Amino acid sequence: MNKVFNYIFWPALSGLVFALVILQLPRLAEMLSLTEAEPEPLVSAPQPGFPRSFKDAIQKVMPAVVTINLQQVLAESENAQDFSNSLSSLARLQITDLNENNSLGSGVIITADGFLVTSYHIFVSPETGVVNFPETITATLYDGRTVNARPLLYDEASDLALLKIDSPNISHVEPYTLSDQEVGDLVVALGNPRNIGLSASLGIISALYQTDNAQLIQTDAAINPGYSGGALINADGQLIGINSNILSESGGSEGIGFATHASMISLLLDYYYESGPGGYLGVSDIEYFSANEGLLLYGQRVQGLRVVSLVEDGPAQRAGIRAGDIITGFNQQKIGTLSNEDELFEAIESISSLGAGEIVEIEIFRERSQLKIPVKLGIGEPFVLFTIQ
């Protein structure tokens, strides 16, 4: 009996074990392959929260960045070597040897109704050191449109200028005013370097400066000529600064760039609102029209101010006033009752004492007819600050 058991049971058991092993071979092979794949890769995976791309941040802000165009030539800076921790000296540093007379800088639209900021120094004459008021300042928008931009306020200490455009369908980005930036934070500079088109450069915050008058961010992001007035953003696409200047011997980026902190933008805008900007009619050139001329040309004693030219897309033009119209009064005040030419011009200038946004009823003489045209005043003329503190 034992012999029969030995000859039958043990061979059968061995065959069963062998069959189970054969059936489990694919699973064993899979386990072995997983075991071989366990060693750590040579390059560690990015840490959570570390941006692999700044695409979303750039696309969020880029539509609000514009190119500022004006006739101006920048010369080599005499104080490029005099670097100090003084923000006022940093703000006065000029980009060297540009020799460009157009598209000198960039700007950022910061409100839905068309306020934008750029750099103060692009308006400063290198020969005289005073602010230059170009006859024409335009802003080229992200979608290719070019619109007129009117300067409202300049601040030398923060190297900022506040401008206004009147155009529908514009993008904007609000300033990020918190001072929670740290040295080593990643940043991206946006602008139009040397008029080749809007572009971006990546860097870190190299240093932070603060005085009684301004805050400044130093970065190694490439800030080339044309970046002045453009945006400095963080990894989340928040506007943390306005590109100001580079410290350079060659005229190109050498890894020492500066941006005005975004908190200064809000201070500038608040100051402008609080200062009560005057009204802006948008009549760029007028001439005295005497009662004798009225009798000669129209057989009527028409007296007032003849409109020679209008600001394109300004309040008066949008309201329907034309070149050639004779302004005879406003808000029930007849210009014809005034006694001399100086009083006539003072009457028109007094419109600027009215607040921006107010409705003024302008009386005009056109084609032998009297018309009354309501005009919503825009923002008034620019002025220069030396500090907003």
Catalytic residue IDs: 121, 159, 228
**Which residue, among 214, 207, 205, 208, has the nearest Cα to 87 in the 3D structure?**
214
Tokens of 91: 């703000």
- Whole-Å CA distances, 204 to 20, 46, 236, 248, 256: 62, 18, 14, 18, 11
E strand or H helix at 370, and its extent? strand 369-376
Collapsing DSSP to helix, strand or coil, 179 comes out as: coil
- Residue 361 has a CB neighbour count (10 Å cut-off) of 13
Question: What contacts 24, CB < 8 A, 6 or more positions away?
Answer: none
Distance CA 122, CA 114 (A): 20
Contact 59, 200 (CB under 8 A): no
E strand or H helix at 273, and its extent? helix 263-274
- Whole-Å CA distances, 158 to 217, 224, 226: 12, 19, 18
Dihedrals phi, psi of 93, to nearest 5 degrees: -65, 130
Distance CA 150, CA 129 (A): 21
Question: What contacts 374, CB < 8 A, 6 or more positions away?
Answer: 319, 359, 360, 361, 362
- Residue 174 has a CB neighbour count (10 Å cut-off) of 14
Contact 163, 118 (CB under 8 A): yes
Angle of CA points 267, 231, 165, to nearest 5°: 70
